[in-house]
Amino acid sequence: MASAVLNLLNSILDWLTVALDAPSARAVIFGVPIGGHLVVEVLLLVVILFLLSQKSYKPPKRPLTEKEIDELCQDWVPEPLIPSITKEMQSEPPVLESAAGPHTIINGKEVVNFASANYLGFIGHEKLLDSCTASLEKYGVGSCGPRGFYGTIDVHLDCEARIAKFLGTPDSILYSYGLSTLFSAIPCFCKKGDIVIVDEGVHWGIQNGLYLSRSTIVYFKHNDMESLRGTLEKITAENKRAKKLRRYIVVEAVYQNSGQIALLDEIIRLKEKYRFRVLLDESNSIGVLGSSGRGLTEHYGVPVEKVDIITAAMGHALATEGGFCTGSARVVDHQRLSSSGYVFSASLSPYLASGAITAIDVLEENPNLISKLKGNITVLWEGLSDVQGLAIASNQQSPIVFLKLEKSTGSLKSDMRILQDIADRMLKEHSVLVVASKRSTLDKCRLPVGISLFVSAAHSESDLLKACESLKRVASAVLGKCK
């Protein structure tokens, strides 16, 4: 049996040799005889080509079957929509039973109000009420449409022109809410890749606008011009393409979070040196700073054209609601079709626009309101300069008098609790309403929290002294106890 197999094998081998030799046995290339090589090499080539033509190896794909997806869906457990409610989340704000003027009623008791940014005392002003009433009777309450779709009422145009005339700019644009002004205006002018240098103390509206713009954001130390200069220098040196990008410095005139006033003259110098544009939020300075209330530019004697974009909320000194943005005609016109909060939102209620016009008129007629306010700020500032445990952190001319804890406990939450305790006791024991900072979990501002008092021209001297006295007593009681 074995020999038969062997024979067969031999004969096959013989045949193979003959067969392989046969076509190329006598082939000679360049004087080299090549026996069966050619055939073998051709075969090899064929094999290589065959292998190359095959797909490379991949682990077999096994997509999830419907059943598996079903199981995954069944197993998935979402987190609750909101975290569980803790005790600190349940605090109730004071409820006002009358207008939020310098004196208001809470729980049936008259209190002195330092919580409203009613800087010029326009809440309850006769002329404002008359113009709002007339407007309500003529136009109704709401505008029932965005500006593009018959939501433009003649008072809106008048108001825009009035604001521009007051500030000395070519044009302005109205927004229907103070908070939305910035987070709509900023994404209009900054897009991905643009560079924005911003103060670390800016309020949430600006933070959100910057986030939505997707530009490169660099923070500098709060109101620190050295830090701003360093940042500008670094950015300009680092970025070779910087000249091709839009570059902005974003600051607040009076910082809501600290009561500091931006050093505009220095900022303008730096801006011109490094060729940045400036976006200035004047929410707390219009009607307050400058000899006629035209804001920070007037305060520093800087021509208003030097600041490229100015925004402001009207819910403070002007005692209405909404906001505006002003600047060159190009800046304003660009927003009319590109600003989402302007295009996609119902316009400002006409009576609020009328109110704003009247407020500016009244302000222009009564410049003494501003000197009264300045006097009040000085009285309060001086009265509060030696409160136990609290230190004034705000500028001497800021209408927000801001006191922070001399010794922070180290945690934001307990600081806030102590401050809230002070505010609560001032309201309860002395009928003085002041503000203890609250921070949203979304707010990225890391400045210390504190007590704010919003000064109004309508506060009388006794109101101011009462507030000082009350804060001193409560602070020494609360903070003295802590030690």
Partner 1 sequence: MIAIPYLTALTTYFSYGLLFVFGQIRDLFSKIFDWWSSNNLQGYAPICLGLEDFYIRRLYLRIQDCFGRPISSAPDAWFDIVERYSNDNNKTLIRTSKLTRCLNLGSYNYLGFAAADEYCTPRAIQSLKKYSASTCSSRVYGGTTVLHNDLEESVAKFVGKPAAIVFGMGYVTNSAILPVLMGKGDLIISDSLNHNSIVNGARGSGATIRVFQHNTSSHLEEVLREQIAEGQPRTHRPWKKIMVIVEGIYSMEGEIGKLPEILAICKKYKAYTYLDEAHSIGAVGKTGRGVCELLGVDTADVDVMMGTFTKSFGSCGGYIAGSKELIQYLKYTCPAHLYATSISPPAAEQIISAIRVILGEDGSSRGAQKLARIRENSNFFRSALQKMGFEVLGDNDSPVMPIMLYNPAKIPAFSRECLKQNVAIVTVAFPATPLLLARARICISASHSKEDLIKALEVISRVGDLVGIKYFPAEPNKQQQDGRVKLE
Contacts (Cβ under 8 Å, ≥6 apart) of 20: 35, 36, 39
DSSP 8-state code for residue 149: I
For partner 1, which is the closer residue by CB, 113 or 169? 113
For partner 1, which is the closer residue by CB, 33 or 303? 303
Shortest Å distance, C-beta 316 to partner 1: 6
Contact 423, 451 (CB under 8 A): yes
DSSP 8-state code for residue 347: P
CA distances for 405 relative to 419, 450, 464, 479, angstroms:
8, 7, 21, 9
Shortest Å distance, C-beta 205 to partner 1: 7
Shortest Å distance, C-beta 234 to partner 1: 18
For partner 1, which is the closer residue by CB, 37 or 246? 246
For partner 1, which is the closer residue by CB, 46 or 218? 218
Shortest Å distance, C-beta 132 to partner 1: 5
Shortest Å distance, C-beta 400 to partner 1: 12
Shortest Å distance, C-beta 71 to partner 1: 9
Strands 32-33 and 323-327: unpaired
Distance CA(310)–CA(290), nearest Å, equals 15
Compute the radius of gyration of the chain from its Cα atoms.
Answer: 37
For partner 1, which is the closer residue by CB, 194 or 364? 194
Shortest Å distance, C-beta 423 to partner 1: 9
For partner 1, which is the closer residue by CB, 15 or 344? 344
Burial of 252 (0-12, 13-18, 19+ CB in 10 A): buried
Distance CA(282)–CA(169), nearest Å, equals 14
Which run of H or of E encompasses 219? strand 216-220
Distance CA(321)–CA(351), nearest Å, equals 10
For partner 1, which is the closer residue by CB, 96 or 225? 96
For partner 1, which is the closer residue by CB, 31 or 80? 80
At 445, give phi and psi (nearest 5°): -65, 130
Contact 254, 280 (CB under 8 A): no
Shortest Å distance, C-beta 219 to partner 1: 18
DSSP 3-state of 142: coil
DSSP 8-state code for residue 54: S
CA neighbor of 347 nearest in space, from 138, 131, 155, 165: 155
Secondary structure (H, E, C), 55-70:
CCCCCCCCCCCHHHHH
What are the structure tokens assigned to 112, written together? Answer: 């002195």
- Which residue type does 285 have? S
Shortest Å distance, C-beta 41 to partner 1: 48
For partner 1, which is the closer residue by CB, 68 or 429? 68
Distance CA(378)–CA(372), nearest Å, equals 10
Shortest Å distance, C-beta 437 to partner 1: 10
DSSP 3-state of 449: coil
For partner 1, which is the closer residue by CB, 26 or 275? 275
Shortest Å distance, C-beta 216 to partner 1: 14
Contact 468, 384 (CB under 8 A): yes
DSSP 8-state code for residue 81: S
For partner 1, which is the closer residue by CB, 41 or 233? 233
